[in-house]
A = this chain, B = another copy of it.
Amino acid sequence: MPQIKDIGEIGLIKRITRPPKDKAILVGIGDDAAVVQMKEGFQVLTTDCLVEGDHFRNDWFTPEQIGMKAIEINVSDVAAMGGRPKFALVSLVLPNDLQVDFFDRIYDGMWKACDRNSLEIIGGNMAHGNFIVISITLIGEIEGNNCTLRKGAQPGDSLFVSGCLGNGRAGLRAYQNNLQGFNKTKNKYLEPKARLAYALKIAPYAHAMIDISDGLASEIRHICNQSHLGANIFLDQIPINDEVREIARILGENEYDYALYGGEDFELLYAVSEENFQHVKGIFIGKIINSPEIKLIYNDSEEEIKRTGYDHFSNDF
């Protein structure tokens, strides 16, 4: 089975190159840099990476799933800004003895996620290392006034999420504890899908939006800190599906901890004022308040949320 070090640059480039579909791509893979034709307007740019051992394990993820996830987590960031992704650049660190088939399948996964989200890989770079690192930069465009920042929330806004939370953490815990079954949750962990179409519908009507990559508590804190406001979160409104509740029960853990402090759900959290309720869908979980505190309310008790997400250190900035 050939290894990466046997193939050489030209061989690798041939494997990953596709003829560009987007006519704006004037120079794609294979020169010092890519060149695209830009229209006047707002451009959105983000970068995020997957590190072997930290973000994925080769015995849980197929190479295709690693590739898909690398793209989807970046699409999720573009979507959370109200943007539409267009171009990707891929920076890879790969072990010398990696099987070429594994490399091909990572790219198959990346292209599959690109097709799903209508974007194209236009360039990249490869280097040696003892473990796999996949850094993706995504460039997209924002139409009109659709840019949804973290800082735009207003007092009285309602907070919504786009779907059930806790899947990412529950899937991870199921793998870590060798639980059988729970395939729906495991699959959501292995194959997160960015909420791009959903975000583009919400963006014109949301005061603030963020994707939930590091747990709900962490993302609410970002919106509140940057909007200089607080929030009331109603614990029993947080949507959690039955499999996640069952995984938590078996492991003697708390499903709300998965949702609040887990990571990798890639749902959206957004703040909408009452006059725009008719235009948005979503699951109501709380309110923005004119106070510095973020409070978790359950029955008639409340407590301040002081913990944040899964991991301070693995974050966009």
Contact = CB atoms under 8 A, between A and B. Distances in A.
A27 B49 CA distance: 21
A93 B133 CA distance: 8
Contacts of A49: 91, 93, 125, 127, 135
A51 B96 CA distance: 14
Contacts of A125: 47-49, 135, 315-317
Interface residues of A, number: 79
Contact of A35 (B8, B9, B16, B81): B81
A26 B148 CA distance: 12
A273 interface: no
A33 B129 contact: no
B126 A32 contact: no
Contact of A34 (B7, B10, B46): B46
Total copies of the chain: 2
A5 B46 CA distance: 23
A39 interface: yes
B43 A316 contact: no
A38 B46 contact: no
A123 B316 contact: yes
A226 interface: yes
Contacts of A316: 32-33, 123-125
A29 interface: yes
A90 interface: yes
A35 B44 contact: yes
Nearest to A147: B35
Interface string A38-63: 11111111111111011100000000
30 contacts: A4-B313, A5-B313, A10-B225, A12-B313, A13-B317, A26-B42, A32-B46, A32-B80, A32-B211, A33-B45, A33-B77, A33-B81, A35-B43, A35-B44, A35-B83, A36-B42, A36-B45, A37-B43, A40-B40, A46-B123, A47-B135, A49-B135, A51-B127, A54-B128, A54-B129, A124-B316, A124-B317, A125-B316, A137-B137, A139-B139
Given A51-B93, A126-B317, A133-B133, 12 more contacts: A4-B313, A16-B317, A29-B317, A33-B44, A33-B45, A33-B80, A33-B83, A38-B42, A45-B87, A47-B90, A50-B127, A135-B135
